[in-house]
Amino acid sequence: MKVTSVRAAVVDLLERGVIRPGQTLVDSSSGIYGHALALVCRELGLKAHVFASVAVDAAIRTQLKYLGATYTQVPSSGDDGLQHDQETRVRLVHAYLREHPDAYWMQQYHDDVHYLGYERVAHTVVKELGSDGVTLVGGIGTGASTGAMSRYLRAASAGVRVAGIQPFGSRSFGSEAIPLDGFIIAGIGSGIRFDNIDYSAYDDIHWLDFSVSAAGCRHLLSTTGVFAGLSAGASWQVSRHIRAAEPDGSPIVFLAADPGHRYVERVFPPDGPLTEDPAYHPRTIADLSEMAGPWCTMRWDRRPYSVTDDLPPYTPAAARQPAYA
């Protein structure tokens, strides 16, 4: 999924002369974005440096190395803190840019250039399924997947419904006061303000914890053969809930960001018993103050939202023009 986004962004930046061949592109990542950046830089003749979260495992680090990328892995804070990890990584990016002024920060958390790659994907959905009655389900993260898909899908039909997913502990949709449950669902939450989230894109928000998402991964694998990560497991749970509540056969499209390999020990224990997962159902809330785990949902109704952040934004020397309006 991230290769789709990163490649379109890098090609656009090259074509506009914002970056040039041979330049170093730098960003923060919990895994798949950094891997995608390394792949694209290898293909297009650029260099990559990744500030990697604690979630980046040996398999991804090995791929970064052999793709010619360099990386700095942020040490664990000891509490699996989502906010601590992301803020630390971005501060390290700022320090790197001061020491390497010729490097270019891709700003996956802030720049809407990452929307561009999803136009083709959205057109494929419309071609194969149409756009009337479509529901899109997926993790929100930076907003450059579900947010971008919603915009391109709604160009075909304004009635496309979007259900976004957040983990507890994320700042983007107001769950930062709810404690994490011991395992970060990488890539779909935020510990800092993300400037490329279009809050008005979402009709519904679902907050899920690790146990619900992991059960979704196992059910997805056992019933469809799709071996995918925690954000896909969460999306599968929400998609099944929507289908059960609205069994009219209208298309539900969900996003699966990564395969399940790095979740094997925690989500798919090879030596564990093969048992039925609990039948989780969401609790419907009317206000953020009512939020509680393991799964709750709220009508968002495409409303705006504001997140404050103490981390100062980085402005590169060259003026940036928005890639998507």
Bridge partner residues of 104 (DSSP)? 25
Q: Identify the DSSP state of 228.
A: B
What is the sign of the dihedral through the CA atoms of 226, 122, 197 and 9? positive
Residue 12's H or E segment, with its range, is helix 2-15
pLDDT digits (tens, 9 = 90+) for 139-162: 998 888 999 999 999 999 999 999
At 20 the pLDDT is: 96
Is residue 208 within 8 Å of residue 295, measured between CB atoms? yes
Q: What is the dihedral of CA 109, 256, 176, 324, to 10 degrees?
A: 30
Residue 80, helix vs strand vs coil = coil
Q: In sequence order, which residues have a C-beta less than 8 Å from that of residue 139 and are 6 or more positions away?
A: 145, 146, 164, 165, 166, 185, 187, 188, 231, 234, 235, 255, 257
Bridge partner residues of 87 (DSSP)? none
Domain definitions of the chain by residue range: 2-108, 115-299
Of residues 239, 231, 237, 223, the one with CA closest to residue 259: 231
At 97 the pLDDT is: 94
Residue type, 203: D
Q: Do 2-108 and 115-299 have matching folds?
A: yes
Using DSSP bridges, classify how beta strands 204-208 and 161-167 pair: parallel, antiparallel or unpaired.
parallel
Bridge partner residues of 166 (DSSP)? 207
C-alpha 151/C-alpha 149 separation (Å) is 5
Of residues 261, 295, 268, 271, the one with CA closest to residue 281: 295
Gyration radius of the chain's alpha carbons: 19
At 183 the pLDDT is: 57
Rounded to 5°, angle at Cα 35 from 30 and 36: 110
* Separation in Å, CA 20 to CA 14, 45, 93, 111, 316: 6, 9, 20, 18, 15
Residue 126's H or E segment, with its range, is helix 118-129
- What is the widest separation between alpha-carbon atoms in the chain? 57
C-alpha 237/C-alpha 74 separation (Å) is 31
pLDDT along the chain (325 residues), means of 10: 93 97 93 93 97 86 95 70 68 93 93 94 95 95 91 96 94 86 72 90 96 95 95 97 94 93 87 83 96 96 84 41 34
Q: Identify the DSSP state of 263.
A: G
C-alpha 218/C-alpha 213 separation (Å) is 9
Topology, domain 2-108: Rossmann fold (3.40.50)
Using DSSP bridges, classify how beta strands 204-208 and 295-299 pair: parallel, antiparallel or unpaired.
antiparallel
User: Hey, which CATH number is domain 115-299, 3.60.10.10, 3.40.50.620, 3.40.50.300, 3.40.50.1100?
Assistant: 3.40.50.1100
Q: Would you say how long the chain is, in residues?
A: 325
Bridge partner residues of 138 (DSSP)? 164
Residue carrying structure tokens 């009512």: 290
Helix, strand, coil fractions of the chain, as percent rounded to 5: 40, 15, 45
